Amino acid sequence: MVRSLVVIGVIVAALIAVVPRVNSVSQPPVDVAGASVEVAKESGWPIERPEALPDGWKATSVRYVRSTGGLMTWHAGYQSPTGNYIAIEQTKDATAEWITAQTNRAPQTGEVQVAGKTWETYVRPIKVQNSLVHRAQSPAELTTIVTGTGTFEELTAFAETLAPVPTG
């Protein structure tokens, strides 16, 4: 019986030593530029994406999906140079319910001026999430939310790079 356990132990140790292990998982590149052009054409919306982000920013996700209240939502997520997650969320005819969901039920804490626009600030300290919300000022505009685990300095820097997606 002891010999059987020793034999099994040797086999298990050999398998552990021989089987390769992955040290890290690399994510395939995300094509925000290509996806944003397709979404702008499909939706007819004046969506925005960050242009000329400084070195160190990495696109991590992109989608155009039905969200809270059935509203179609443009989303592009990024990892900042400091490792924080920051995303842009845009929709047409945003409701209070949609804004509440995108800001993770954070309370509004004030306003700031970024790139010539007034943005509301939202802070959720318990489950860290900061958000900037620019509400559409006309029927032709989209409500834009820049949100994530980044600092307001990072959110502001990200918002300053937002530019309309060319569709032509």
- CATH number, residue 39: 3.40.1000
Q: Do 131 and 147 contact (CB within 8 A), yes or no?
A: yes
Q: What are phi and psi of 90, to 5 degrees?
A: -135, 145
The reported pTM is 0.84
Judge contact between 43 and 74, C-beta under 8 A.
yes
Asked if residue 17 is part of any domain, the answer here is no
Q: Is the residue at 38 inside a domain?
A: yes
> Does the pLDDT of residue 49 top 90, yes or no?
yes
- Summarize the confidence of residues 27-53 as an average pLDDT: 93
**In this structure, is residue 116 part of a structural domain?**
yes
Label residue 167 by pLDDT band (50, 70, 90).
confident
Residue 26 lies in a domain: no
Q: Is residue 10 part of a domain?
A: no
pLDDT of residue 16: 78
pLDDT beyond 90 at 127: no
Would 16 be classed as within a structural domain? Answer: no
Q: Which domain holds residue 130?
A: 32-164
Cβ-proximal residues to 138 (8 Å cutoff; 6+ apart), any chain = none
- Summary mean pLDDT of the chain: 92
Query: How many domains does the chain fold into?
Result: 1
Q: What is the pLDDT of residue 26?
A: 72
* Inside any domain, residue 9: no
* pLDDT at residue 17 tops 90: no
* 143 within a domain of the structure (yes/no): yes
- % of the chain with per-residue pLDDT over 70: 97
Dihedral angle, C-alpha 165, 96, 123, 82, nearest 10 °: -20
Instruction: Give dist(CA 142, CA 89) in Å, integer.
Output: 10
Per-residue burial over 142-161, b = 16 or more CB atoms within 10 Å of its CB, e = otherwise:
bbbbbbbbbebebbbbbbeb
User: Could you report the per-residue pLDDT of 70-115, keeping only the tens digit for each?
Assistant: 999 999 999 999 999 999 999 999 999 999 999 999 999 999 999 9
Please tell me the predicted confidence (pLDDT) of residue 24. Answer: 67
Residue 159 near residue 114, CB atoms below 8 Å: yes
Residue 156 has pLDDT above 90, yes or no: yes
Q: Supply the pLDDT for residue 15.
A: 74
Predicted confidence at residue 10, as pLDDT, reads 80
Phi, psi of 109 (to 5 degrees): -115, -10
Min mean pLDDT across 26-35, 37-46, 100-109 is at 26-35
Q: Is the pLDDT of residue 25 over 70?
A: no
Percentage helix, strand, coil, to 5, in the chain?
Answer: 30, 35, 40
Q: Are 120 and 110 in contact (CB under 8 A)?
A: yes
